Structure 1
Amino acid sequence: MKPSFDILIVGIGGQGTVLASNVLGEACIIENRTVRSAETHGMAQRGGSVESHVRIDGRFGSLIVPGTADLLIAFDLLEALRYRHYLPAGGRLVVNRHLVVPTSVYQQELAVPDEESILAALSDLEVTCIDAARLAEEAGSILSQNIVMLGAASGDIPLQPGSLEEAVRRCVPKKTVEVNARAFRLGREEGMLGRGAA
């Protein structure tokens, strides 16, 4: 049996992956669970990849070994494809139905990938695709997409929904608490409905 539940959160600089991992860490503290985490920022300030490793009940290092993650939460379709190798075949992926095309695609005049082809490349996984922008706007702020995604993935995370929502309230700026709590609940509802469907 694995000693930890390993979650990899991936996105692009500015999408809030670090805040999302902080929320998970805070929820672990609320439940008196051990947690280890690490972030790799890369060139995030220029729209580069950001990855956050979160290991719940882990006894060893904070970095997840490729092929062993229990859950991948991707804030962008291309980032899901880029980090797919962290999941075993049949692994669990919750992904935002959003696509930021890298500048290099245009510079090199490459074909722009579409949602259908990306999801086809991820077909060996158990995928839930979420329109986080729509739900974030419904919650009151487009900037709450990261919290929507946490809510959407919460059914797969071995933490109580109440602990996760309380962690959201503790980690986000005070003036955005209610918007983000709503974003979490909307994401959770959508995630439970969309589980196992692309």
Structure 2
Amino acid sequence: MHALARWWMRRRHGAGEWGGLFAPAPDGEWVSLDLETTGLDPARDHILSLAAVPVRDGRVGLSERFERRVHTARAFGIESIRHHRITPDEASTGEQVTDVVREFLHWLGPRRLLGYHLGFDLDMLRPHVRALAGFELPNPTTDLADEVAARQRAQRPDAPVDLDLVHIATRLGVPMIGRHTALGDATTVGLCWVALRARGWPAD
């Protein structure tokens, strides 16, 4: 979000329930976010689970994680179940999405968001954040895929860029944790970010 737009929104909303989102972002801290969804169309699909973990001081704070299963009554097929391993019965026992998003925003505060192709997750959250707060998330964002792409191109400008998460994790020496679960992917991305900042992108 542009600094002027953030300033205007802080002036308008800073004294209300969502004022914590507009405080200065803590230095050296990110929140690695991941969603599991019924599909890949933000206009039609629904959130099934949301997880986030703090990343600071070269560590991923699993003990401070935010993790929620989200209720949906929308039917979804076997391919979706194979991907995220959440069944319709399990989805029906989750919390209401409005309650989950409200709790998440208060937990998140002004911290920077980190993710892998984070734009999709933000697109899925956007209508729920707007319905609650009346605006889009103002938090600064960092996308692991964009950062890795920039480093790959800097090293080998003419080589193809490989942004598969398994490839990124393998090159950075990070184990894949609970692939295609919200908490697992959020943790893996956080660990990749720690490794990338500490060691850079490994040369071929």
Which TM-score band (shorter chain)? 0.3 to 0.5
TM-score by length of 2: 0.32
Larger radius of gyration: 2
TM-score by length of 1: 0.33
